[in-house]
Amino acid sequence: MNSGGKRIAIIGGGIAGLTAGYYLNRRHDVALFEKSARIGGNAYSHRTSKGEILDIAVAASGKAGYKNFYALLDELGISTQPCNSYMSFHNLDTRKGLYLTLSAKGVRYQGLELLSAANLRSLAKLFLGLQRARRRLNAGMLKNVTLGRCLQDLPEFSGDTEVFFLSALCLLSSMEAHEVLAAPAEFFLNKLKTHFDVISPKAMYSVRCVRDGTRRYVNALSARYRGKIRFNAVIRTVERSSGGATVMMADGSNHHFDAVVFACNPDQALALLAQPTRMEKKLLGAWRYKDGRVVVHRDHSSFPPRPLIEAYTFLYTMRDGKMRTSVNGALWHEPQAPKDCDYISAQHPNYPIRGDLIELDTILRTPIFDFASCATIPDLPQLNNGRTTFFCGSYFGYGLHEDAVASARSVAERFGCV
Beta pairing partners, 31: 9
The answer on pLDDT for 154 being more than 60 is: yes
Of 38-42, 159-163, 374-378, the least confident: 159-163
Asked if residue 89 belongs to a domain, the reply is yes
Question: In angstroms, what CA-CA distances link 396 with 16, 266, 359, 392?
Answer: 10, 10, 33, 7
Q: Dihedrals φ, ψ of 365, to 5°?
A: -80, 135
The answer on pLDDT for 277 being more than 90 is: yes
Q: Does residue 147 share a domain with residue 186?
A: yes
Closest among 129, 56, 101, 74 to 297, alpha carbons compared: 56
The answer on pLDDT for 47 being more than 90 is: yes
Average pLDDT over residues 404-418: 97
**What is the span of the domain harbouring residue 189?**
81-209+300-352
Longest dimension (CA), the chain: 71
The answer on pLDDT for 308 being more than 90 is: yes
**Model pLDDT for residues 187-231, shown as the tens digit of each residue:** 999 999 998 777 766 666 688 999 899 999 999 999 999 999 999
Of 39-48, 49-58, 113-122, 161-170, the least confident: 113-122
Average pLDDT over residues 70-94: 94
Asked if residue 332 belongs to a domain, the reply is yes
The answer on pLDDT for 68 being more than 90 is: yes
Asked if residue 258 belongs to a domain, the reply is yes
The H-assigned helical ranges of 139-159 are: 147-152
* Separation of alpha carbons 335 and 40, rounded Å: 20
Q: Does residue 379 share a domain with residue 277?
A: yes
Question: In angstroms, what CA-CA distances link 3 with 10, 29, 228?
Answer: 19, 9, 17
Asked if residue 68 belongs to a domain, the reply is no
Q: Dihedrals φ, ψ of 391, to 5°?
A: -135, 145
Please report, rounded to a whole number, the percentage of residues in the chain having pLDDT higher than 90.
84
**Length of the chain in terms of residues written:** 418
Rg (CA), the chain: 22
Residue bearing the bigger pLDDT, 85 or 269: 269
The answer on pLDDT for 340 being more than 70 is: yes
The answer on pLDDT for 112 being more than 80 is: no
In the sheet that holds 81-82, the strands lie side by side as: 61-62, 207-209, 81-82
Q: Does residue 222 share a domain with residue 272?
A: yes
Q: Does residue 185 share a domain with residue 36?
A: no
Domains contained in the chain, number: 2
Q: Taking the model in full, what pTM does it have?
A: 0.95
Q: Does residue 231 share a domain with residue 96?
A: no
Element (H, E) at 119: helix 117-138
Average pLDDT over residues 110-121: 75
Q: Does residue 218 share a domain with residue 200?
A: no
Average pLDDT over residues 14-36: 98
pLDDT of residue 270: 98
* Separation of alpha carbons 273 and 153, rounded Å: 44
pLDDT of residue 110: 78
Q: Does residue 201 share a domain with residue 160?
A: yes
The answer on pLDDT for 89 being more than 90 is: yes
pLDDT category of residue 321 using cuts at 50, 70 and 90:
confident
The torsion region of residue 229 among left (phi > 0), alpha (psi -120 to 50) and beta comes to beta
Mean pLDDT of the chain: 94
Show Cβ contacts of residue 3 under 8 Å, excluding neighbours closer than 6 positions.
Answer: none
The torsion region of residue 296 among left (phi > 0), alpha (psi -120 to 50) and beta comes to beta
Asked if residue 254 belongs to a domain, the reply is yes
**Model pLDDT for residues 248-264, shown as the tens digit of each residue:** 999 999 999 999 999 99
The answer on pLDDT for 74 being more than 60 is: yes
* Separation of alpha carbons 384 and 380, rounded Å: 8
The answer on pLDDT for 3 being more than 60 is: no
Q: Does residue 281 share a domain with residue 313?
A: no
Q: Does residue 228 share a domain with residue 177?
A: no
Q: Dihedrals φ, ψ of 326, to 5°?
A: -120, 145
Q: What is the β-pairing status of strands 259-262 and 244-249?
A: unpaired
pLDDT of residue 240: 97
The answer on pLDDT for 22 being more than 70 is: yes
Q: Does residue 96 share a domain with residue 161?
A: yes
Of 77-81, 226-230, 320-324, 348-352, the least confident: 320-324
Q: Does residue 169 share a domain with residue 89?
A: yes
